[in-house]
A = this chain, B = another copy of it.
């Protein structure tokens, strides 16, 4: 399976960073994104204000390589969900590690991919509204660019077809539609096979559209078993459409599913299906890249203990940390840290204190002792309970692990890659 070409990041590297960007030193000279890694800044030396979101580069690269090896070993490809990071430099790392494409959630996110040269994008949504639909068709005019999007009902297909009439795409580059399969009480997605097939036939009948395949997002389901049922539906519908000869000759047939919680089930169920024609089995996991310290960490333990798929060397580890200062120790058993809802995820568990460091007094960060936990976040403060014996005091630095990378990334216009000594190696600009 050919991967998409590397991205063109020159314009990103050369872009000036607004000196007001959260995370930059307050006395920094005017800098481009590409300059940041050359400053010799070190988090532990106090060269940067806190809070600060950092990604441990060695862990990040190992995670990316792990997923490359995992998909290659199991006849899968990955179009990682770019909405997680919205960082073109990270998209480029994923592409370098063989990503089949990049997935996005919105047309604004598609524009980011186009700007930096991603050549195959899945919009894992039905585009809605004239602005969004017209932008999808305009993108198809770019030589060598392929676009997939979703539809889950005849209304949606009709809106796409009208967009195709307004903006006819090249005959060899239609808008590829993946029919979304859903479940009762779930999010988008056809609730029955009959509706799904009706959508597929409507796509085939519309000018400017082509049936790309079938997909689901299983990540909202509570158990691997429930995910299996939905993934099996996707495979079954692809077979029905193949039997009905709905796919154009010579075009890839895609089956795809979504999250980072059950990606083993996606591979197992798709691989258990005997498709009548070669299909491209596309994972869309996004959170594996930085992994996390809470929910995906737990999901991954289940995966590696249960799966019958081939597991490569190594393992996913948490790469993303937010550092904050202890601001106050106002009463026994309570600390306040300089980090709040605007700096770190709080929708999938409270941040987890990992390591601490006393500037000028310690040679390297040490593990936070047992018994420290964040119990509440305000906009710009974190409330921590801890034992009276806690060594932490105002001015100490604390590194927090996060749950749900998506909602930490989107709180930072710039995150910093760091080496194992917390020296800054690169700035990652995001586009939320």
Q: How far is the CA of A158 from the CA of B411 in the complex (A)?
A: 32
How far does the Cβ of A409 sit from chain B's closest Cβ, in whole Å?
10
Q: How far is the CA of A325 from the CA of B380 in the complex (A)?
A: 31
* A269 close to B (CB within 8 Å): no
CB pair B187 A336 closer than 8 Å: yes
Q: How far is the CA of A49 from the CA of B325 in the complex (A)?
A: 39
Of A207-215, A304-312, A327-335, A415-423, which binds chain B? A327-335
The main secondary structure of chain A at its interface with chain B is: loop
Residues of B within 8 A of A383 (CB): 187
Known: A126-B328, A188-B381, A330-B182. A26 touches B131 (CB 8 A): yes
Residues of B within 8 A of A155 (CB): 329, 393-395
* A108 close to B (CB within 8 Å): yes
Chain B residue nearest to A406 (CB atoms) is: B379
CB pair B46 A106 closer than 8 Å: no
Instruction: State which of B153, B395, B432 has its C-beta within 8 Å of the C-beta of A394.
Output: B153
* A125 close to B (CB within 8 Å): yes
In the complex this chain forms, how many copies of it are found? 2
Known: A49-B131, A341-B407. A26 touches B125 (CB 8 A): no
Q: Which of A306-349 contact B (CB under 8 A)?
A: 325-331, 334, 336, 338, 341-342, 346-347
* A130 close to B (CB within 8 Å): yes
Known: A22-B432, A327-B126, A379-B105. A159 touches B395 (CB 8 A): yes
Q: Which of A115-168 contact B (CB under 8 A)?
A: 115, 125-126, 128-132, 134-135, 138, 152-153, 155-156, 159
Residues of B within 8 A of A220 (CB): 378
Known: A129-B325, A187-B336, A188-B381. A330 touches B152 (CB 8 A): yes
